Each structure stands twice: as C-alpha cells, then as structure tokens.
Structure 1
Amino acid sequence: MAATTLLFIAAFLFYCLHPTEAQIGVCYGKIGDNLPSSQDVVNLYKSNGIKAMRLYFPDQDTLQALQGTNIELMLGVANENIESLASCSCAAKRWVRRNVLPFGSLIKYVVVGNEINPSDKQASSVLPAMQNIIYALNASQNSNNLNDEIKVSTAINTNLIKNSYPPSNGQFQDLSYITPIIDFLNSNDSPLLVNIYPYFAYINDTQHISLDYALFNAPEVVFTDPNNGLDYKNLLDAMVDSVYAALRKAGANHPRVIVSESGWPSRGGSAATMDNAKAYYENLANHVKQGTPLMAGQPIETYLFAMFDENQKQGASSERNFGIFYPNQQSKYGQLNF
C-alpha cells in the first residue's frame, strides 16, 4: 500500500476518533465597571444562541448562572494564581474542588494562564500547574472521570512563533519553554489554545499585509506557500497554519489548535472602525467552519473576543473596544452566525 494512502487512512481514523466541533464561542471579559450582571450575561448568551464561553477566572456568580444551561465553558486559571497551583498539589486540589467539581458537566477546558511568555515570572510554573490540575482531577473520588472529559491546556499568543511566513516555516521561538508543554498535551490528548489576531498583524505591517487579506475579503489567492503549494486568501488561515507547522516541528503527535481569542476593535486605532469590525466578525464566524488550507475540512473551534467593550482595560484605546455587544446588551453588529 502506498505511503500516501497509509497517511490518508491514519489521518481519517484520527479525525473520526477526535472530531473537531464547528463551535464558535465568545470570551466573557469582566474588566469594566458598567457591565451587566452575570445572570443577564448568561441570558444574553442563551438568547443569541452562543453555545460556548471563555471565562478567564472562576467567577462564582457566572458559574452558578451557567448551571442548567447547555453552554460549554473554557475556564481559566488566572495568571496570578499559577505559581500557587504549581507549588502545591493541595492548592490545585482545592481549586478543582471549588471551581471544577460542582460544575464539571459545563467545563470543557481548564486553561492554565493566558499569554504567558518564557520571560514572565510565571513561565516556569505553567507546566507544574497543569500537571497538578490533572492530578487533582484524577485524585477526586467524585470526578467521574472528569480528567477524560476536561482537557487541560494553556493559551499562548503568536509572539511565540517565528518565521511564520510562509506558514510552513513556522516554528517556536523558545523550545525549552514550549516543548515540555507540548509533551504534556501529547500525553493528555489536549489541544493548544492560541490567541490569534490578524488585526494586530495588519496594523504592524500595512506595507506587506492588505486590509482585505486581514478581513477575509481578498477576491483571489494572495500567495502560495512555496514549500507545499497551499494557497492562502486570508491572514487567519496563514497564522493558524504557522502554529500547526511549529507544533509539528516541536514534536506534537497529532497537533490540534483552538483559536481561543480573535477579534477586531470598532474604534480607538488604525483600521478600527465599525464596518471593519463587523466584516471581520461575520467573515470569521463563517470561515472557521471550513478549516485552513493545511487542515482543510476540519473546522476550527474559535472564540470571538469579546462579549463586551471593557472600559477599564489597560493599554491602547482599541483594547477597550473589542466587544460584539455594548454594555447595555445591545448588539453592535446584528445577529452573528454562532
């Protein structure tokens, strides 16, 4: 049997056993002083058909409001708590007992940290914290095999990738940091979560990146990867595929990538307009169901950033204008295709 046929069969069997959902969730950030109550937010998710939420820390009001819904949850371990969970397995057990076990049927992922870089003080604690969370899930007598149902991972940003053009050249900047994490993901059949923002890539390199390419509006192929012949018409596909390439180079057995954040601001910066943001969110929600050129036909589980404009976020003005809803619960862009 030809090697290409064997590879096809192996890939087919893998995706039959590891189906990728065409799921689009929304990140629920809470850095604002004018946001609705947690119950109102959960009701807003339900009324708009949003079936998945990313929550950056275990806010008890939100967890309670989610009880009895069909909304799946990506639950974060806040960056400031990583070191304590890494240093003591008992702390991880307490965290799991309080924040996971009562809500286990809701939780799909536990995310240990958001956008930790190798130079950050928490970097050496990310993997031990992930290991302690898994240990706590295994150790709980009431877990009902939650360690099989709940995947533990971390969310990185694309700053950890270098040589991302063409996508097949993608590789990680710091293998000493990421390789043990990838080994953990391999051992536990967990995906890597990646925050991917064509917006920032575009505004940082408008000389080489067109707005249409960043907004999924390019009318034809923008470039062909010379290493594999794959055609690219939008920037998100290229960024996702560069992560897949980096994962394979770093030893991932069956790499899976989830876009744990992606969005476009409606004001406050270059190209940050209502029209551009509306186009991005609408096109993103439709496109990720198709997969990327490297993973054609495999939908990308994706979380839009974010539910609301958050008026207390630090940084550039654009950081406070990524919401798909206003704090008064009115939609900015009409009904998106969740």
Structure 2
Amino acid sequence: MAVLSNNPHKAIAATLFIVAFVSLSLHFTDAQVGVCYGMLGDNLPTEKDVVHLYKSNGIRAMRLYSPNLATLQALQGSGIKLMLDVPNETVPSLASSDPSSAMQWVTTYVVPFASSIKYIVVGNEIHPSDKQASSVLPAMQNVLNALKQNKLGDLIKVSTSIDTTLIVNSYPPSDGQFNDTSSSYTAPIIKFLSTNKSPLLVNVYTYFAYVSNQRDISLNYALFTSPGTVVTDPNNNKNYKNLFDAMVDSVYAALAKAGAPNTAVVVSETGWPSDGGDAATVNNAGTYYRNLINHVEQGTPLRPGQAIETYLFAMFDEDKKIGANTERNFGLFTPTKHPKYGQLNFS
C-alpha cells in the first residue's frame, strides 16, 4: 500500500489522483456491455434459464422489450441491471391526462423489481408520423411522476429509444442534426431528458448503414477492422477509424445543436446478423461483436475516454420475428444456449 507524502501539496495531488481513479473506475463499471433479450421465438429457453445464461457469461445488463413477469422475478438478486421497455402499443394508455394507468404500470412492473431496473424505455423507434408519437412525451412524464411518487425518481431514468434515421447530415459527424420533420417531435423529448439528466437511447446499426451504401462505406469501416483513419472531420479534425464512432458522434452533434450538449448517449441496440443478407455471415458478425466489445470503453473522438454503455442485439435468433431474413439471425446464442461466436468477453 502506498503511503502519502508528508508534503501537503504532494498529499493533495495524490488524494486527487485516487479520487479521479476511483471515479474513472466507477464510470467504466457503469458503462457496461449488455444484451437485449428478445422473445419472438417458439424454441427459446425458459426465462430462469436465460437469466442463468446471462450470469454464467458475465453479462450484467439486459434490455427487455416488454414487462415479462417471469423474467422480472428471475432477475431478482442476479446483479443484472435492466432496461425495461414500455411496448409501443402500451405508450398511448400511459399518456392519458389521468395518470392512473401509468401509476398502475409502475406499481405492477417496476416497484416490486426496482432494485434491478436502471432505465424505463417509453417506446422503441417511434417516428414523428407514427400514431403513438404524440403520446411519447406525456407517457414519459407520467411514468416519471409515478416513479417519483414511489421514491424511485432518482434511481431509475426514463427515456425513449430512437433509430438513426432521425439524424441527417451525419457526414461528417459534426454536421449531424435532427431532421426538420422530426425536430418538433424530438425537441421537447430532448428537453425532458436534459432537465431530468436522462440519456438518449439510440439504436445504432453499422450493418444497415453499410448494406444501404456499399459504394461509400467499406466493410472494414463497418466492422472495426480498418487499419487506419478512414474519415477526418474537416470541422474539428477528429479522425474516425470505424463507422460506429461516426454514427454515435453524429448523435452527440445533433444533441448539441438541439441545446443538450451534456445529454449522454446510450446505445440501446447494436448488432450484426449472421445470415439472411449481404455480408450477413457468422464470421462478420463475430468480428463485429468482438471488436465492438473491445472498443466501447474507449469512447468516441468527440467523447474520448467516456465509455459508451452499449446493448448488443440480441441474445437469441428469433424465428417468429417478422421482416427481412436478417431480422431472425441476430442471436449471440443458439436456442440450445451455445455461443454462436465462441466465448465473448462481456465483462
């Protein structure tokens, strides 16, 4: 054990160093890698077995897309922190001027399990033109008020999860901003987040960016395998070796332009499919997940050293999920609980 110097200036400096080190350690611990637990499959393990699989693989954070009681109960005492969604179809009922529905939802699904819950996600990828759009902000406020009445307002953060289509001018990243058609929707939500010191949750997929623009985006840039700088932002001379950082920084830039430069970004989904589309292979997906896990604690060029709390999509392939073939092939594990990409170091 080191002994502090008798010199008061050195002692103060050493003390400040220890405080900074502890703060940094806590920051990195908090900004962990989690995994989204989707349930749209008819061949998946039981909820209790899934929670055990999280624990045995050192996965300390989960996103759950609906308040499944069996999962909530299995999480108790597990040490796993939860990002719990209010499903899109439920959002309007929680937005009523009568706050009783929000209170009932919080009382039923949050209060008994509060020690496990870190975030409430009011809606996933709701766009300004969607019928639920006008309900998102009032539902967020009602949920927060219900948390406060249960003395949980300082412990559980309320947010919503967006996709990156709401960001335009993302090249270079510092030009990123919320598009004009979405600003009337996003602006009051961002003000809510800033006021309540909640992060903006963003689903970031370099895969979809790559397959939609293979002329300008290289596979190496999307997979974190570029040997050097690919993009230099002319506005600030920040260098980008991977697309993930560029996409996250375009969100930070948009938040700053919206008057919320201190609002954090949490990546609430990111992943790469192993089958079903261009570049959707087991090798590419494994490369993406391994490199991403190793990278996120470094931060981005706009936020160096500020680890990015990130949730990988998803725990299992979901054979009942609708949409493109890729949608059913994002799993990190098979339904028989075997790792698809070898042992990933989630911790």
Structure 1 regions of 5+ residues with no counterpart?
A: 1-11
Alignment of 1:233-244 (within 5 A): 233-244=241-252
What residue in structure 2 maps to residue 73 of structure 1? Answer: 82
Provide the C-alpha distance between the structure 2 equivalents of 1:278 and 1:134, rounded to a whole number of angstroms: 38
Q: Which amino acid aligns with 1:41?
A: V
What residue in structure 1 maps to residue 112 of structure 2? Answer: 102
What residue in structure 2 maps to residue 161 of structure 1? Answer: 167
Say yes or no: does 1:83 pair with 2:76: no
Aligned counterpart in structure 1 of residue 140 of structure 2, from 106, 124, 130: 130
Say yes or no: does 1:313 pair with 2:321: yes
Aligned residues, how many? 320
What residue in structure 2 maps to residue 228 of structure 1? Answer: 236
SS in 1 for 2:115: coil
Deviations 1:46-78 (A, max 9, x none): 100000000011000000111111000000000
Would the aligned equivalents of 2:274 and 2:281 in 1 still touch at CA under 8 Å? yes
Deviations 1:139-183 (A, max 9, x none): 23xxxx311010000000001000000000000012100010011
Aligned counterpart in structure 2 of residue 192 of structure 1, from 189, 200, 203: 200
Alignment of 1:34-45 (within 5 A): 34-45=43-54
CA-CA distance at 1:335 after TM superposition = 1.2
Provide the C-alpha distance between the structure 2 equivalents of 1:280 and 1:198, rounded to a whole number of angstroms: 9
What residue in structure 2 maps to residue 171 of structure 1? Answer: 177
Per the normalisation by structure 2, the TM-score is: 0.91
Deviations 1:191-220 (A, max 9, x none): 000000000000000000000000000001
Deviations 1:247-288 (A, max 9, x none): 000111412000000000000000000000000000000000
Say yes or no: does 1:116 pair with 2:126: yes
Provide the C-alpha distance between the structure 1 equivalents of 2:230 and 2:38, rounded to a whole number of angstroms: 34
Provide the C-alpha distance between the structure 1 equivalents of 2:76 and 2:115, rounded to a whole number of angstroms: 9
- Alignment RMSD, CA only? 1.2
Structure 1 residue runs of 4 or more that deviate by more than 6 Å after TM superposition: none
Q: Which amino acid aligns with 2:142?
A: N
Structure 2 regions of 5+ residues with no counterpart?
A: 1-19
CA-CA distance at 1:42 after TM superposition = 0.3
What residue in structure 1 maps to residue 219 of structure 2? Answer: 211
Provide the C-alpha distance between the structure 1 equivalents of 2:308 and 2:229, rounded to a whole number of angstroms: 20
Provide the C-alpha distance between the structure 2 equivalents of 1:240 and 1:335, rounded to a whole number of angstroms: 26
Provide the C-alpha distance between the structure 2 equivalents of 1:22 and 1:123, rounded to a whole number of angstroms: 29
Q: Which amino acid aligns with 1:117?
A: H
What residue in structure 1 maps to residue 303 of structure 2? Answer: 295
Deviations 1:202-247 (A, max 9, x none): 0000000000000000001001000000000000000000000000
Q: Which amino acid aligns with 1:90?
A: S
Q: Which amino acid aligns with 1:294?
A: L
What residue in structure 2 maps to residue 283 of structure 1? Answer: 291
Would the aligned equivalents of 2:197 and 2:263 in 1 still touch at CA under 8 Å? no
SS in 2 for 1:94: helix
What residue in structure 1 maps to residue 13 of structure 2? Answer: none
CA-CA distance at 1:19 after TM superposition = 3.9
Larger Rg: 2
What residue in structure 2 maps to residue 250 of structure 1? Answer: 258
Provide the C-alpha distance between the structure 1 equivalents of 2:72 and 2:216, rounded to a whole number of angstroms: 44
Deviations 1:286-337 (A, max 9, x none): 0001000000000000000000000001111010000000111111011112
Provide the C-alpha distance between the structure 2 equivalents of 1:294 and 1:186, rounded to a whole number of angstroms: 19
Provide the C-alpha distance between the structure 2 equivalents of 1:55 and 1:19, rounded to a whole number of angstroms: 23
Would the aligned equivalents of 2:252 and 2:261 in 1 still touch at CA under 8 Å? no
Say yes or no: does 1:151 pair with 2:157: yes
Provide the C-alpha distance between the structure 2 equivalents of 1:72 and 1:311, rounded to a whole number of angstroms: 26
What residue in structure 1 maps to residue 40 of structure 2? Answer: 31
Per the normalisation by structure 1, the TM-score is: 0.93
Say yes or no: does 1:49 pair with 2:55: no
CA-CA distance at 1:22 after TM superposition = 3.2
Q: Which amino acid aligns with 1:157?
A: D
SS in 2 for 1:155: strand
